[in-house]
A and B are shown apart, each in its own frame.
Chain A
Amino acid sequence: MTAFIARTTGLLGALAAIAVLVSFVLVPELPGLRTLALTAVVGIGGWLYLDWPAISRAAAARGGMEAARAVLLIAVAVGIAVVSVALAERSQQRWDLTPQGSHSVTERTTEVLASLALPPTEVVGFFVHGDDPVASRHRRSWDALAEAFAAAGPTLRVDTIDPDVSVLRAQQAGVSSNGVVIISRSGRSERIYAPDEASLLSAIVRVSQERDRTVYVSSGFGERRLDEVSSESLSELRRELGALGLRVAPLDIARNPLPDDAAAVLVVAPAIPLSAGVVSKLEGFLADGGALFVASEPQKETGLDTLLADGGLGLAPGLVVDPLVRSVTGDASTPMIARYGLHAAVRGLRAPAVFSGARAVVETPHQPTDCTVHRLASTSELAWSELRPSSEPLLFGEGDLPGPLSLLSLSELHPGGRSGGTVILSGDADWLSNRGLENAANRDLAVRVLGSLASQEDLIALPPRERDEGTLAMDWLDQVLVGVLALLFVPGTCLAIALTLWIRRRGR
């Protein structure tokens, strides 16, 4: 009985010793490491003390010393292996075999990251790891990006959290949606959505700089206010943008110049057209690479038609009607976004947002050559722009514009081939108000679009990657042929060989 207890204690001690060795090298943060080490010492010591007669007999017996030597040799080998792995992980070398370098960052990113001084920058991505194929694809992209940044940035601490698993940490960070990345350093923090290399690098650089970024909301022309607590004001939007690390402030552009720290300017539902002086200041702001967001009320003029037309954008006459929404709510004048574009500002968004009494955003008939227009959010094919919205029944008629219609478009200006400003135009302003943000996925859309716009100004330009990821084209006959070869011919050959061998053996 004593021998059994001694050997069990010894076994537990040995297991604890292995765990201590592995943890000490690979997982030093494991809690209770000292207790584990004490367990190992007590366990092995107890075995030696209690079972000493048997141990000494075994050592004196034939093969006893060899057995001890073998145990020692294996322990040393395991130790060497653990230390080798730890060293290899610490001085990591990676060979990225993908043609477009999916697992690596560009040289420019490496240079920028190498220039960052201490203290370390914390980068935490909140990505769900689940069965949903889209979420899974985003998670894989993030994992590759996170690994590439972690390998390239000596002062970066990159971590990934699954908000479904670590609910508390997600709540503490105020994360409620998938695909959020929080970058923090020395008390400054910023969050970005659907990150790519350029946006993540830019955010890291921004938090490293002692500079505030401010989004200015135009005032003085009857625009929506920031400071009111009413259903029509933008106070909730201010709070949301604040969470991204942005300061949001009103600005009477007619009386003040546009400050240097302006990350973006928002013109939301002016009651009267902006004056020529303000328009001129905004044109200058855009020419210097600024970012402008214009949200217009359907019946009001903004005075920005020429500025918007220079970016290839305009508003269609009439109101967007959406029979798809009418069949659910009975109101056709609240168009629903059925599809998001491929631009980074809306990448990954899927849940529909709902506008209210919106005009469609159109591309001007004569598109300027020095801008690129992206549709960010569009209605379904069933919607149309109705010239006579008060007529009943609402039917698509002459002069109406067929769907799908853009409700939100972005124009990237590049005058004379150089990088310029960015303009986003929305044919509705209600969706940004306190009441509007409560509807459907409006909040997500507003945060993503405005957060992305405010980052445009200091987005670090990276060379585009070649998209040589290989192609495959097969028709159904090719597929059948390959299927027959894979399913029947190859395994059939093996089974035929097995049968032949078996018959030969039986014949002997």
Chain B
Amino acid sequence: MIWHIARRELLARTRSPFAWVVAGTWLALQGLMFTLILGVYLRSSREGAEWEEEALPLLSGLIDPLYSAQSLLLLLFMPLLTMNLLASEQRSGTLPLLLSSPIATWEVILGKWLGLTIFVSVLVFLGGALTPITLIVFGSPPLAPMAGAALGLLLLIGVLGALGLLASSLSGSQLVAAVITWTTSMGLWLLAVLEHGEGPLSSLARHGSLLIHVRQFGRGLIDTGDVVWLFSFIGVALLGAWQRLESWRWR
């Protein structure tokens, strides 16, 4: 049943002009960032060669900055794709219909989250496929760190999707849902600015910031602490959304 709902969600996305407009804008910005970062990397490499300096590492000079840019774009655009996951069903009055069906609430939640995650992942990895293709055709990139970066993006999509689903369950307004997702994710992201300070605030930032838990993937490092943090976040957010939908049944 979960797969059925996910498929329905996926089909709904692919048939929505709005989703494709968001995707097109997203990919245009992604392409712009890719072109700029690539240009900066190639120029730095040329200048470094003139000064007989060590070659700029591909991982820290190109792959990591691209990963950071991609993460930021996800942060900006995911709320636009998640805002109507449940909010539109609440607004149009189809939610009671969905809940009165024999489908379990958790199946609805997991199905919707899975469908969105697949849609965004396909978009990011197909649309962004130009990056690995360029690196493989014109150079010899380290493949394992690239796979690590892909895993990091996948987990970030999962986290933002779960957060968006929770926000969408909290409000009947798509705009409010998008704002909740955006401010929460941005707040968790920007918590990292406290990292370089001193004392408990810095410690709190290291434990609580979304950025700190996803950035190591782009540098070719997978840490169990980060993976558990991200999965825990997904679990708690999905649980929250499930409980919120359950409360509709009681009414």
Q: Do A and B come from one complex?
A: yes
Flag the segment in A77-85, A264-272, A397-405, A448-456 that touches B.
A77-85
- Say yes or no: B222 contacts A95, CB within 8 Å: yes
- Say yes or no: A26 contacts B207, CB within 8 Å: yes
Cβ-based interface call for A210 (8 A): no
Nearest residue, chain A, Cβ from B131: A486
Nearest residue, chain A, Cβ from B232: A81
Cβ-based interface call for B32 (8 A): yes
Q: Which residues of chain B are near A80, meaning CB under 8 Å?
A: 232
- Say yes or no: B220 contacts A491, CB within 8 Å: no
Instruction: Please report the total number of A residues contacting B with Cβ < 8 Å.
Output: 73
Cβ-based interface call for A326 (8 A): no
Cβ-based interface call for A131 (8 A): no
Q: Min CB distance, A473 to chain B, in Å?
A: 6
Interface string of B200-228 (1 = CB under 8 A from A): 10011001100000000001111111011
C-alpha gap A342/B240 in the complex (Å): 55
Interface string of A476-495 (1 = CB under 8 A from B): 00110011011110111111
Interface string of B120-152 (1 = CB under 8 A from A): 000000010010001100111110110110000
**Given A97-B221, A486-B31, CB of A491 within 8 Å of CB of B200:** no
Q: Which residues of chain A are near B127, meaning CB under 8 Å?
A: 490-491, 494
A15-57 with Cβ < 8 A to chain B:
22-23, 26-27, 29-31
**Given A30-B200, A486-B34, A491-B31, CB of A103 within 8 Å of CB of B220:** yes
Cβ-based interface call for A165 (8 A): yes
- Say yes or no: A97 contacts B222, CB within 8 Å: yes
**A99, A471, A479 interface centre (most CB from chain B within 10 Å):** A471
Q: Min CB distance, B230 to chain A, in Å?
A: 10
Flag the segment in B36-44, B79-87, B157-165, B176-184 that touches A.
B36-44
C-alpha gap A485/B18 in the complex (Å): 23
Q: Which residues of chain B are near A276, meaning CB under 8 Å?
A: none
Cβ-based interface call for A256 (8 A): no
Q: Which residues of chain A are near B102, meaning CB under 8 Å?
A: none
C-alpha gap A472/B38 in the complex (Å): 10
Looking at chain A's contact residues, is the secondary structure mostly helix, strand, loop, or mixed? Answer: helix
Interface string of B217-251 (1 = CB under 8 A from A): 00111111101110011011001100100110011
Q: Which residues of chain A are near B208, meaning CB under 8 Å?
A: 22, 26
Q: Min CB distance, A350 to chain B, in Å?
A: 13
Nearest residue, chain A, Cβ from B139: A472
C-alpha gap A425/B55 in the complex (Å): 29
- Say yes or no: B138 contacts A494, CB within 8 Å: no
What would 5 A/B residue contacts be, using CB atoms closer than 8 Å?
A: A92-B225, A97-B142, A472-B62, A501-B20, A502-B17
Q: Can you list the 6 inter-chain pairs with the closest CB atoms, starting with the nearest? A: A63-B250, A486-B31, A494-B24, A472-B139, A498-B20, A81-B232
Residues of A within 8 A of B (CB): 22-23, 26-27, 29-31, 62-63, 66-67, 70, 73-74, 77-78, 80-82, 84-85, 87-89, 91-99, 102-103, 129, 137, 140, 144, 160-162, 165-166, 169, 342, 468-474, 478-479, 482-483, 485-488, 490-495, 497-499, 501-502, 505
